[in-house]
Structure 1
């Protein structure tokens, strides 16, 4: 999901499994992750992972807070 401002995100009706959450800061807003360019001294766009693996179980609800404040 692509977000342009901070907001709450809900994932509904997902399969019971273990999940990882990854956030990509799309600095140039082109909706893809840019790898950067070593020769032009351009860094890749920042990627942040949620610290815990989420264990989603059938018929359960979980709430996690992922603070993205820089």
Structure 2
């Protein structure tokens, strides 16, 4: 784990149907998080608003097919 690259989030909900974790960003790091998912799921809609802190974030990484 690279501690300087650790991002602060608060878990707010786990959706048992989609097995998706919803988290609130503590800082404006959404572009960094999205950039980390090189295998972004093309079936999901892209962001339609400017990323801001405290927006729920949910992404799927194709490499392991798990929700993060």
Larger Rg: 1
Q: Which has the higher helix share?
A: 2
TM-score, with structure 1 as normaliser: 0.27
Q: Which has the higher contact order (CA 8 A, sep 6+)?
A: 1
Task: Give me the TM-score of the superposition, normalised by structure 2.
Answer: 0.28
